[in-house]
Structures are given as C-alpha cells and as structure tokens.
Amino acid sequence: MKSHYLEKIFYTQQPYRRLKIIVILLFLILFAIIWALTQGAKAESDTANTTATKEKNSCVECHTQMGEALAHPVEAMQKDVHAEHNLSCADCHGGDPTQFAPELAMNPRKGFIAKPKPKEMAAFCGKCHSDAEFMKKFNPTMRVDQEHEYATSVHGKRVQQGDEKPATCISCHGFHGIKAVNDATSPVYPLNVAATCSGCHANADYMRGYDIPTNQLEKYNHSVHAEALQKKQDLSAPTCNDCHGNHGAAPPGVSAVANVCGTCHSRQAEMFQKSPHNDAFANMGVAGCAVCHSNHEIQTPSDELIGTNDKSACVNCHTQGDAGFAAAATMRGMISELDEQIHDADGLLTKAAKAGMEVSRPQFELQETRNQLVNARVVVHSFSPTTLANAVSPAIESAKKQTEEGKQALVELRNRYKGLGLSLAFIFLAAMSVYLKIRQIENGKNK
C-alpha cells in the first residue's frame, strides 16, 4: 500500500518535478556510497596505524638503543602486568610511538609525560584505574576508588602539601615491571607488604623529621601475627595494610583501635566496647586493645595476662585494694580452676583409654569443655566477673563430670584386674589339685 501510494504521488507530478526527485535520489545514493567508502578507508587506516604502532614503537627502539639505565624500562616491561594486557608505553606516558623524531614522539601536545611528579602520580595512574568502564575490560572486580582513597591518606595529604617523600603508587607497586597484587613476587603480596612498608618506615634517616618510630618491622617480626603469616603461611593473618589501610593508609586513632582489631577479633571488640574499660581508656587517652596487647609486637595471649601476678597487664593500672584488682584476681581464679579441671579430666581419661577402657564419649565431651574454656577466655574482655562466671560455671561442672567418669573407668579397671587375679589364682589352685591328685594315684599304683 505504501509503495503504491508513493508511485501515485510520483506519477501525478509534472515532468520537471519528476526529474528533480530523481536528481535528489541520485544525490542521496551517491552521498551514501561516498560515506561508506570513507568509513572503510578510515577503518583500514586505523588498523594500519595500530599495526604500525605495534611493529614500530619508537619508545622501545630508542630506549633499547640507548642502553643501560634508559633501556631498563623496556626490559622490565616484558614482565609487567600492563604489558601482559597489551598496554604500551604510550598508554601511560602518552606521546606518539609511531614517530621517531624525539620532538614528535615525546610531544607534550599528545599528552607526553616523561616522569610524573609525586603530586601528579595518583592522577597519572588514576586516569585508567579510576575509570570503571575502562577497567572492566581487564578486571571487572578491580576497585576503582584507589585514587580517591589515596587523597584521604596521610601519604596523599602530605604529597599534596608539597612533601615529595611520602609514598605514592609507584613506591609500593613499583614501576616498569609492576606485578599483579596476587603475584607472590609483587611487593604488595601479603607476605611482602611488611618489607615494602619498612622500605621507608624502618629507614631512620628517611623518616627523620616525621616524629614516628622506625622499629615497627622489628617489633612486628616478633608478633603472633607475623608468625602466622610468615612461618605458617596463613595469608589471612594481618600485616601492615590490614590495620593501617593501604591506599587510604592512616594510623588508627586512639578511639579507632578497638574497631581496627575488631575487624578480625569481633567478639572481643564487642565485649570490650561494652565494658567499663572502654570509657576509662578513652578518658585516659590510650588505645583500648593496645594497652594490654601492645600494637606491633602482639604476643600470643596467655592466662598470665589477667590476674594480679607480675606478668599480668591488670597490675599496670590496678593496685591492691581497688575493685579492679579484686575483679582481676577473681576472673583469673575462675579461668585457672576451669583449666585445672580440664587438665585433671584429661589425665584420667587418657590413662583409662591407654589401659583399654571405653571412654570415647567423655573424651568427646571434654573437647566441648575445652571449647568452653576458649569462649571463657574471650568473655574475659567483658571485664565482668559475673559475666565470666556465667560462662565458666557450666564448663567447670562439665569438667567435673568428665573427671568423675575418668575415675569410674579407672575403678572399673582395678576391679577387672582384681577379678582377673582371683580367676588366675583359682585356675592355679585347680591345676595344683589335679596335679597332686595325679601324683597320689601314681604313688598308689607303685605300691
């Protein structure tokens, strides 16, 4: 119907108008053909340029020819994560790698930046790493807020103030040879983070003027966290950036320490924040968890930490006669009693088991009592003898029950030994009787 309608309009026109319509249609067809040919030529040109860029990269060729330090970037880039994703020198530094004249290849008008200043570094990397759409081409799960976080960090703030010594992106990740963060050889791989941070923070000369210690690495290496991470290869164990942040690195303030520790030790942090120590430490201006456990040199906690002995952390603040001193003694007493009950029960049940007695059920139940002891040690962070008693008392009753079952098993064992002795004696007497009877019969025959 539509075609018929157009034909009707066309043939009802005057001849000169028909000619005009034909000319317009021919012009449109000619325009479409020219546009299509132009796009095809452009695509071929782009492909040719790309091929030329890959085949002729003036950055690579010139730097290779210059040798020594200037050739190092070319060599290092061969193992760089960016090169693995086909990114070239120009993708970071700009310029025109198809040109071999230095003034053309390194033309600032084409975005060339040879060596960004520390203040420019975050934006230099961020032009890609802050672009969510661009980064999805390589890793859709990668964060794109690093540049923003860095601006909030102590490092970023100082750099923006004109201090060129604080860390920028390349201080931690390196450059011309950057590895993926999950690469074991990357300086930001969990096992390497402490060494990377200490590159600056353990250098007393470099850190002079910042008024912060430089012994963090030495202390951390003696901590329970370092033992778990470095010796046991537990990659979930904390290193520097887990407590201080990475791109938004900042020392946790006094009021934030419990929250930082609580990211892993959530129950302890929750109980501490509800305890009387939370406000008391805040008023004293001291960091909650660090008062008892320290910060970088955190040791494996033991029952010695609570109580009133010389090794207890409680006596650093509490003295004999105050309520806290008495509470510390009470809580230590409860933990010790439960520990001793479990030790006694374990000794009896183990002895019975080695003697062949069936005690698997009480041994299994004793394991649950041990779990209750672990829970009680967590509840200590409530610093409430009443709350701790609610956790310890049922466990002590369980341990006593398992101790009694161990005793009963050993009593039964002794009874079995007695029965066995009596049986052997009866058998011996019976045998002797038979033997004597036989001798008597033999003696009668001889007479």
Please give the Cα distance from 242 to 245 (Å, whole number). 6
Structure tokens at 151: 């601006």
Query: What b/e sequence results for 311-328 when a residue is b if at least 16 CB atoms lie within 10 Å of its CB, and e otherwise?
Result: ebbbbebbeeeeebbebb
For CA atoms 63, 68, 69, 72, give the dihedral sign: positive
Q: Helices 68-77 & 58-66, crossing angle to 10 degrees?
A: 140
Please give the Cα distance from 266 to 260 (Å, whole number). 10
Please give the Cα distance from 206 to 407 (Å, whole number). 66
How many Cα atoms sit within 13 Å of 98 on the Cβ side? 9
Note the pLDDT of residue 447. Answer: 66
Please give the Cα distance from 69 to 66 (Å, whole number). 8
Helix (H) or strand (E) holding 304: none
Query: What's the count of helices (H) and strands (E) in the chain, helices before strands?
Result: 24, 0
How would DSSP label each residue in 339-353?
Answer: HHHHHHHHHHHHHHH
Q: Which of 257, 311, 315 is CA-nearest to residue 281?
A: 257
How does DSSP classify residue 164? -
How does DSSP classify residue 32? H
Please give the Cα distance from 346 to 341 (Å, whole number). 8
Determine the length of the chain. 447
Per-residue pLDDT of the chain (447 residues; tens, 9 = 90+): 455 555 665 566 666 676 777 777 777 877 777 776 666 555 554 444 444 445 578 999 999 998 888 899 999 999 999 999 999 999 999 999 999 999 999 999 999 999 999 999 999 999 999 999 999 999 899 999 999 999 999 999 999 999 999 999 999 999 999 999 999 999 999 999 999 999 999 999 999 999 999 999 999 999 999 999 999 999 999 999 999 998 988 877 767 788 899 999 999 999 999 999 999 988 888 888 998 999 899 999 999 999 999 999 999 999 999 999 999 999 999 999 999 999 999 999 999 999 999 999 999 999 999 999 999 999 999 999 999 999 999 999 999 999 999 999 999 999 999 999 999 999 999 999 999 999 988 888 776
Note the pLDDT of residue 284. Answer: 87
Strand extents, DSSP E, 198-354? none
Structure tokens at 144: 């794109």
Backbone angle region of 287, left / alpha / beta, with phi > 0 → left and psi within -120 to 50 → alpha? beta
Residue 45, amino acid:
S
Contacts of 191 (CB under 8 A, 6+ apart): 184, 229, 230, 233, 235
The whole-model pTM stands at 0.74
Helices (H), 285-322: 288-293
Q: Helices 360-379 & 385-446, crossing angle to 10 degrees?
A: 160
Report helix, strand and coil shares of the chain as percent, to nearest 5.
70, 0, 30
Contacts of 236 (CB under 8 A, 6+ apart): none
Residue 24, amino acid:
I
Please give the Cα distance from 68 to 416 (Å, whole number). 86
Note the pLDDT of residue 282. Answer: 87
Please give the Cα distance from 157 to 118 (Å, whole number). 12
Structure tokens at 97: 């790698």
Structure tokens at 159: 């750099």
Structure tokens at 282: 């805040």
Note the pLDDT of residue 343. Answer: 98
Cα dihedral 63→64→69→75 (10° resolution): 110
